[in-house]
């Protein structure tokens, strides 16, 4: 396959390295034209390395390549710009796989490039950049789940892509209900990620404290109401059912984990709050209600970003 990975951060480098190792032609779209072509991975999936077929900061450098798959691996706040870039080089049979966190990426892709080109992926392995072009895989909670929420792409095409990713060494599976599965991750992230960043503590500390549990429960309850009023189907019948699963099954394996937003704020990076709790606030406004706990969380994260940058 001819594959372009748009965005060589931790997730992008992981996909690019594994897929190139298996003999695919892999290219990288980067912001820094001096980004290395040689990529390295270590961690729980072993040591891997690959030299990409090409790297550029200019999307038009890839226009003459018949790309089978474009893996979009930028932060959610860069999604719209990236999709407009991709639109310039998209071929009739090119498929774009979204791998970002949060709500709104799929909706943007459908609007800009069309659902017939768009696959939704839920990525839940943990990876961190340890140096330029070097990534460490730290945890894998589940397969990369891949599907087309509107059944707009032939199942055989999706299964072929899933197989290629699986054979590369990244566990992946076909999931027609990928949209619901992505919302599982949105729920989890909205409840834990920003609050842990605000209070500068681990997920276990949040779960152990009755005061932070009250806040997390409110975040979850608001999301269930907002989803229901927006006709978004979740994997859980009600907030109480999810909350029980959340504390008893989801949090314990990640008790010692510090949220990505905590590290974003510490290292001067922009957070993805607008695609998480911020998206819940907008979806609430869309149906004429408020999501006050989620809105407070958004404002507190933005306060920390502004204070850090001032």
Cβ-Cβ contacts under 8 Å for 125 (sequence gap 6 or more): 14, 137, 139, 140, 141, 144, 170
Report the C-alpha gap between 186 and 193 in whole angstroms: 10
For this structure, is 128 an active site residue?
no
Going by C-alpha positions, the residue among 135, 136, 140 that lies closest to residue 122 is 140
**Which listed residue (185, 282, 290, 302) is catalytic?**
185
**CA gap 100, 70 in Å, rounded:** 13
Which candidate, 280, 286, 300, 301, places its Cα nearest to that of 218?
280
Q: If you search the block for the tokens 């589940």, which residue do you land on?
A: 142
- Report the candidate in 202, 180, 49, 43 with the shortest Cα–Cα distance to residue 125: 43
Joined together, the tokens standing for residue 107 give 């909706």
DSSP 109-158: HHHHT-GGGEEEEE--EEEEEEETTEEEEEEE-SPEEEE-TT--S-HHHH
What's the chain's length in residues? Answer: 310
3-class SS at 235? coil
Catalytic residues: 185
């Amino acid at each position: 396959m001819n594959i372009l990975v748009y965005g060589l951060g931790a997730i992008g480098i992981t996909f690019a390295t594994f897929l190139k190792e298996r003999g695919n032609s892999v290219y990288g779209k980067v912001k820094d034209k001096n980004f290395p072509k040689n990529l390295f991975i270590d961690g729980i999936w072993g040591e891997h390395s690959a030299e990409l077929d090409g790297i550029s900061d200019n999307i038009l450098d890839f226009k003459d390549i018949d790309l089978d798959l474009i893996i979009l691996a930028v932060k959610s706040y860069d999604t719209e710009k990236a999709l407009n870039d991709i639109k310039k080089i998209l071929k009739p049979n090119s498929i774009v796989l979204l791998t970002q966190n949060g709500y709104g990426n799929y909706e943007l892709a459908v609007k800009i490039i069309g659902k017939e080109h768009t696959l939704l992926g839920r990525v839940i392995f943990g990876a961190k950049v340890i140096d330029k072009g070097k990534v460490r895989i730290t945890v894998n909670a589940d397969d990369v789940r891949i599907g087309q929420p509107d059944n707009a792409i032939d199942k055989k095409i999706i299964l072929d892509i899933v197989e290629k990713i699986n054979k590369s060494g990244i566990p992946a599976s076909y999931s027609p209900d990928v949209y619901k599965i992505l919302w599982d991750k949105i729920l989890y992230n909205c409840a834990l990620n920003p609050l842990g960043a605000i209070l500068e503590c681990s997920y276990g500390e949040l779960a152990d404290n009755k005061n932070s549990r009250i806040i997390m429960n409110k975040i979850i309850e608001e999301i269930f109401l907002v989803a229901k009023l927006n006709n978004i189907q979740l994997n859980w019948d009600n907030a109480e059912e999810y909350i029980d699963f959340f504390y008893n099954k989801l949090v314990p394996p990640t008790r010692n984990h510090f949220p990505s937003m905590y590290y974003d704020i510490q290292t001067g990076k922009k957070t993805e709050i607008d695609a998480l709790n911020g998206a819940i606030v907008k979806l609430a406004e869309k149906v004429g209600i408020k999501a006050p706990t989620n809105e407070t969380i958004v404002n507190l994260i933005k306060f920390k970003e502004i204070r850090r940058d001032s």
